[in-house]
Each structure stands twice: as C-alpha cells, then as structure tokens.
C-alpha cells in the first residue's frame, strides 16, 4: 500500500524586543546565569506582570503578514505545569482567545505552489534553561532564568503539509517572512526559532487521519527534514507489519539519527488553563490593525513578483534572491548602480553566495559592499578585466575587503587588449603546437579552444579572449 504523511508544525519565535514580555529585564543573549531577572520574571509573591506593547505590535505584524484574522478581543491564560524551567509553575500563554487565527502562506516545492493554512498565532513567554548534573540521590539540576519571560509567538500550521520537503519549505518561508518583518533574529542554532512537528501517516487518498506523534527538538532545517523522514518511515513500518501507531511525544536525537519516546498519551500533560487574573484583556480595534498593515514592509512573495516583472528575472533567480531580505536589498543596491539585472543575479547566485557560504556569512555580513560589487562588474564590462579574472578579484575582495579597482591595479590584472602585445604570445603558442594546428586545419574546431586556453595560460588569464580568438584565426 502507498502511504502519505500528514504534517503540521508548531513554530516558536523569540521576538527581538529590548525588554521581556511582562517585565523590564533585558532580552540580551549570553549574560551570566540569573543576571537578567527581576521579581516579576522570577515569580516572586506580590508582583504584577504588564504586557510589553512591542510584543503585541510584533504579533500583529506577523499575524497580518501571514494573512490571519486578528481577534478584536484577546486575553492571556495560565498554562499550568510543574517543571522548574518556569518559576511560577505556570507559563503565561493564550488559550481559547489567541491573538489571531485563520491565515496561510505559500510554498513552492518541485515547481509546484501550495497554500498552507495557519491555524493560529498567539503570544506567550519563554522558559528558563536547566542543566542536569549527575550525582547521589538522582543528582540535581541548575536553573538559569535569564530567558524566562522573553516574548514568544507560537505559530501553528494546519495539517496541510504532505512531505518532509514541504515541511522544510514551510519553515524556510516562515523564517524568510519573519526576517522581512524584522521581528526576530530567527537563529535556529541559538533557539530564537524552534519547531515541533505533528506527524501521522495514512493510505494515500484517505480522508481520515492516522494516529499522530509529536516530534520535538528540531533545531535546524536539516533536523526537521531528517526527523520527519525517520518518523514517517517508522510509522509506515508499524502499519505495514499490522501494528498500531501509539500516540506519543517523541524527541529527535540528531547524533543517532532516530526519534525516541519522551512520553505516551497515558502520561500526557494536563495543563488546566485558566484566564490569568494578573493581566487585563486586549482590545485591538480596526484603526490599530490598519496602521500596522500600512507599515508592513514589502513581503517576499511581492518582492519576488517585482523582480520578475521589473527586471525580467527568471522565477528561479527571483526566488533565490528574495529568500533573504538582506540578499534582496543587496541585489537592489547593485542593480541601481549596474543595471544589467540578469548579470547581477548570476553573480549573486553564483560566486557571491558561494563565497558567503564558504565564510559562513549571512548576506548582511558581506565584506564586499554593493558599490564594490557593481564596480567589479563595471570593470568586466569595460573590458578592463576578463570574466575569469573577475572571479579571482571577487575572491580577493572577500578575503581582504579591498575595492575591486585597487586589487586590479595592485596585482596588475588589467586585461591585455593590445593586439601587438598578444601577437608574440599567439605566435609562440602556434609554433609550440604544430599537431593541434594541423588538427584545426583538418576541420577539428575544438582545437581552437585548446589554443585559446594556451594563450590564456601564458598570460595568466589576462588576455582578452575575443582578441585572442581573432588573432589565432587570422593565423590559421
């Protein structure tokens, strides 16, 4: 039997506010343990949390960018559980009246566009960090509450995803949108973007759902995809052998490449939600929503459309370039100075991204400013340097941060376009390769390429290839 997967994702995004969600503590990363805490986020008696306005603003931006309906009225609830990552024994969250519901985003996988529903977006607080220490009597745990109370958005998708590749595409698209909105650092490795997946399998074509498991600990796009592939295979194998999938919460072990059971349904959490009496409800009127909507930046889909329509870029190029707001900004700035969009796109998608990846850099951290990229392309267009040399110069620019013209001058890389200077080299190459010359004369066109290559080699890539071609043909 053929099976298909049914996947929904719950994504947690840490918002990049200055202060925590309900107190004035900083959200800065990396402080000494328990130095970003106060009576409110430590849950000391008698304190009152008050919601940070920026959390609601960021929440609204995100909800609108994801095409959600914003609730005119929402409130905070207490999610009760006993685990020392939260000192109050409850997490402030939103239960039955979330900030927004009913949105969607679009993904493209293998050239096919799909619309993925978004069930809800709600606000909540992050928890602290535990370090477990072995020892007598079961050991102990050390708790750092610096992250406790940092604002999170939880974004829940509909079970609309049908493969690990689609889940990954959804996650990547969501991250891109959040980056465009500038509401989060979106660093999966630092935990500012996290993902849990609900997954089940069913016979292809079936309308009912199979029993699902929830997979946690998906800290990278790669783990998300690998964990889902593993979990789907595991569930299919159970069904094929006549067994039943048991509802459970699983964790992904990246090193071993397996999912394992954290808890089964019998031990499922019972959170006993109730409205938090410490926080007053929110009323978000149409004027507020409209103001936020007007302030939304151009989003990835619209920007991609614009690159296709205004510059005539292929959809693939436009998709790659707009997958990062910084990369799209970079492209726009280079094109403003060097208006051959397809050439700019080729360079950005090729050598530029390759060199960024090699240096483990994000597009916003490029050591080559857009002005210098444009001047490199200009040097090539003028014929001052060849395309091959241009690639070398770009590498040098990445390595040293120097300008394109400076490198070309310092290294004497100016293209040789002087026929007199090249003639001698051309004649030497012809003299040294009589056999190849003979081949060419006997109709082997490929032989010309070899001879051009020899001249380029002799000039260390600096000869103008067009001129070399002409000079060779004149003599053959």
Span interacting with other proteins, options 132-140, 165-173, 315-323, 349-357, rule CB under 8 A:
132-140
Residue 100 or 471 having the CB closest to other proteins: 100
**Number of neighbours of residue 386 by Cβ within 10 angstroms:** 23
DSSP string covering 142-186:
EEE-TTTT-EEEEEEE-S-B-SHHHHHHHHHHHHHHHHHHT----
Write out the two tokens for 99: 């900030």
Residue 390 binds to Zn ion (criterion: CB under 5 A): no
93 binds, among other proteins, Zn ion, none (CB under 5 to 8 A by kind): none
Decide: 159 and 8 in contact? Cβ < 8 Å.
yes
d(CA 233, CA 247): 16
Note whether 252 binds other proteins by CB under 8 A. no
Distance of closest approach, residue 26 Cβ to Zn ion, in angstroms: 9
Nearest to 147 by CA among 24, 28, 276, 40: 28
Q: Binding of other proteins at residue 72 (CB under 8 A)?
A: no
Angle, vertex CA 112, rays to CA 107 and CA 118, nearest 5: 30
Residues in contact with other proteins, shown as a per-residue x/- string from 256 to 275 under the rule CB under 8 A: --------------x-x--x
105 DSSP β-pair partners: 116
Question: According to the binding rule CB under 8 A, does residue 38 interact with other proteins?
Answer: yes
Q: Which is nearer to Zn ion, 50 or 432 (CB)?
A: 50
Please choose, out of 18-26, 247-255, 405-413, 466-474, the segment that lies near other proteins by the rule CB under 8 A.
18-26
39 binds other proteins (CB under 8 A): yes
Q: Which spans in 92-140 are helix H? A: none
For other proteins, the binding residue among 30, 139, 434, 443 (CB under 8 A) is 139
Comparing CB distances to other proteins, the nearer of 111 and 277 is 277
Question: Taking CB under 5 A as the criterion, which residues in 407-446 touch Zn ion?
Answer: none
Long-range contacts of 94-99 (CB under 8 A, 24+ apart): 94/122, 94/123, 94/124, 95/273, 96/273, 97/71, 97/73, 98/71, 98/74, 98/122, 99/56, 99/59, 99/60, 99/63, 99/70, 99/71, 99/74, 99/123, 99/282
Which residue's CB is nearer to other proteins, number 134 or number 445?
Answer: 134
Any contact of residue 19 with Zn ion (CB under 5 A)?
no
Piece of 45-53, 117-125, 250-258, 449-457 that binds other proteins (CB under 8 A): 45-53
How does DSSP assign 337-400, residue by residue? Answer: HS--HHHHHHHIIIIIHHHHHHTT--GGG-SS-HHHHHHHHHHHHHTSS-HHHHHHHHHHHHHH
- Please state, in angstroms and rounded to a whole number, the distance separating the CA atoms of residues 339 and 344: 8
Site string for other proteins, 278-307 (x = CB under 8 A): --xxxx------------------------
- Piece of the chain touching other proteins by CB under 8 A; list 40-48, 117-125, 213-221, 364-372: 40-48
Please report whether residue 38 would count as binding Zn ion according to CB under 5 A: yes
Which residues form the interface with other proteins (CB under 8 A)? 17-19, 22-28, 32-39, 41-42, 44, 50-56, 73, 75, 80, 82-84, 87, 97, 131-133, 138-145, 270, 272, 275, 277, 280-283
Residues engaged in binding Zn ion (CB under 5 A)? 23, 25, 38, 40-41
């Amino acid at each position: 039997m053929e099976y298909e997967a049914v996947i929904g994702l719950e994504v947690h995004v840490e918002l990049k506010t200055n202060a925590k969600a309900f107190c004035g503590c900083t959200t800065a990363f990396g402080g000494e343990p328990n130095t970003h805490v106060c009576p409110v986020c430590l849950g000391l008696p008698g304190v009152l949390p008050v919601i940070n306005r920026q959390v609601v603003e960021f929440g609204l931006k995100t909800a609108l960018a994801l095409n959600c309906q914003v609730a005119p009225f929402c409130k905070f609830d207490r999610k009760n559980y006993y685990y020392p990552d939260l000192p109050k024994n409850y997490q402030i969250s939103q239960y039955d009246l979330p900030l927004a519901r009913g949105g969607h985003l679009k993904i493209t996988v293998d050239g096919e566009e799909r619309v993925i529903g978004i069930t809800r977006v709600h606000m909540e607080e992050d928890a602290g960090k535990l370090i477990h220490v072995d020892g007598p009597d079961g050991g102990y745990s050390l708790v750092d509450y610096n992250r406790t109370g940092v604002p999170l958005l939880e974004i829940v998708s509909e079970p609309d995803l049908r493969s690990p590749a689609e889940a990954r595409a959804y996650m990547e698209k969501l991250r891109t949108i959040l980056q465009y909105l500038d509401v989060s650092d979106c660093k999966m490795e630092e935990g500012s973007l996290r993902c849990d997946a609900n997954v089940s399998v069913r016979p292809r074509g079936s309308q009912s759902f199979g029993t699902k498991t929830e997979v946690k600990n998906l800290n990278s796009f790669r783990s998300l995809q690998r964990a889902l592939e593993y979990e789907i295979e595991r569930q299919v194998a159970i069904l094929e052998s006549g067994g039943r999938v048991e509802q459970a919460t699983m964790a992904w072990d990246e090193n071993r490449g397996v999912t394992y059971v954290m808890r089964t349904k019998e031990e499922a959490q019972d959170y006993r939600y109730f409205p938090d009496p410490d926080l007053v409800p929110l009323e978000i009127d149409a004027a507020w929503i409209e103001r936020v909507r007007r302030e939304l930046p151009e989003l990835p889909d619209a920007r991609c459309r614009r690159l296709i329509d205004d510059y005539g870029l292929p959809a693939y190029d436009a998709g790659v370039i707009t997958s990062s707001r910084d990369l799209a900004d970079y492209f726009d700035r280079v094109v403003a100075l060097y208006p051959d969009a397809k050439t700019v796109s080729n360079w950005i998608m090729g050598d530029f991204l390759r060199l960024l990846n090699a240096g483990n850099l994000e597009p916003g951290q490029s050591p080559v400013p857009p002005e210098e990229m444009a001047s490199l392309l200009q040097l090539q267009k003028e014929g001052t340097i060849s395309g091959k040399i241009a690639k070398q110069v770009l590498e040098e620019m990445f390595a040293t941060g120097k300008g394109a013209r400076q490198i070309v001058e310092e290294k004497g890389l100016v293209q040789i376009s002087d026929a007199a200077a090249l003639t001698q080299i051309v004649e030497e190459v012809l003299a040294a390769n009589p056999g190849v010359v003979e081949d060419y004369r006997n109709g082997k066109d490929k032989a010309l390429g070899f001879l051009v290559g020899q001249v380029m080699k002799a000039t260390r890539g600096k000869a103008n290839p067009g001129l070399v071609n002409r000079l060779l043909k004149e003599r053959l």
